[in-house]
Structure 1
Amino acid sequence: MQVLGVGPVDLLLIHWPNPAVPLAETIGALCQARRDGLARHIGVSNFSASRLADAVALADEPLVANQCEYHPRLDQSALIAACRRHGVAFVGYAPIGSGNLLDDPLLATIAARHDRTPAQIVLRWHVQQGTVAIPRSSNPARVAQNIDLAGFTLTDADMAAISGLARPDGRQFSPAWVESWD
């Protein structure tokens, strides 16, 4: 990491699988970066369950994460299960639907009952599933709220109701060149 002027990065991810580059070549380069000491950990991003299985089989270094879009409007249960089978952490980007969930009436009702914000409710939903959520905010007050997830637990009914927000058109990020989603 001489160019960056730092030691090894903590986590190096492939941002999207590229159908124009053989997966074996991509995973080989990622593993080599770890062996060369450029990254402490390596992983993938936006890999489907089948592509993740292929990547794990090709990797001679452990893949530790698969970072994918995930929020209550997008059911990722099959992909989360695949990550768990392979010992790979599921990391959800856009965990509150890029802010599109903040006005949802169900989330507002649950938030009022817990004296929390809708964003805190959704982030707690992630935590209770054992997934990692990486919300984005430039507002220091919201950053503090996003961290303040202790001290309350969603009920099983809350969890089920929030998961029930999933819909077939829930994906927000779907570039035209993506081959397929689970």
Structure 2
Amino acid sequence: MRGHIILSHGSDSGPDATKVSALATLAETLGWTTARPDYREDDVLGHAGSVDPRLARLAAAIAASPQPPVLVGSSMGAFVSGLASLEAPIAGLFLLALPARIPGYPRAFAARPGVSSFLVHGYADDVCPLDEALAFARGHAMPALLVHDDHRLGATLPDIEAEFRRFLGGLA
């Protein structure tokens, strides 16, 4: 076993969502174990209202991990993965379609400094502004892959999988 990965889906989605499922499958073929918390019950509380319950659920998954995990998150899953990284040791952070802030939530996005991290964001993302996500990445010297895609990142999934493979290879 190479390590453990916790993949967090976005709002209005689920643990079987396309991106987290594809990345989990890829990681498992490379010898990693994976977990995908189900945040759908939390998401009924709205975007701002779901952050703290999601953080609690993710903290429990991290605590149950056999070693410091890699956190992977899409959209709201990326937001809570970063915040969770401030509270517990992690091995890496792979973020997709990152919202730098959640309207109505008092904290902006933040992540543990010094942890291997990577951002993937679409130029045509109409949900999470590219400039805000890129400003965070730039300010923290976080490598990024910018793709010609929208918020769902469905058109560039093979590129994302290739980058995820490289990211995990750099951690092993």
TM-score (normalizing by structure 2): 0.36
- Larger Rg, first or second structure (1 or 2): 1
TM-score (normalizing by structure 1): 0.35
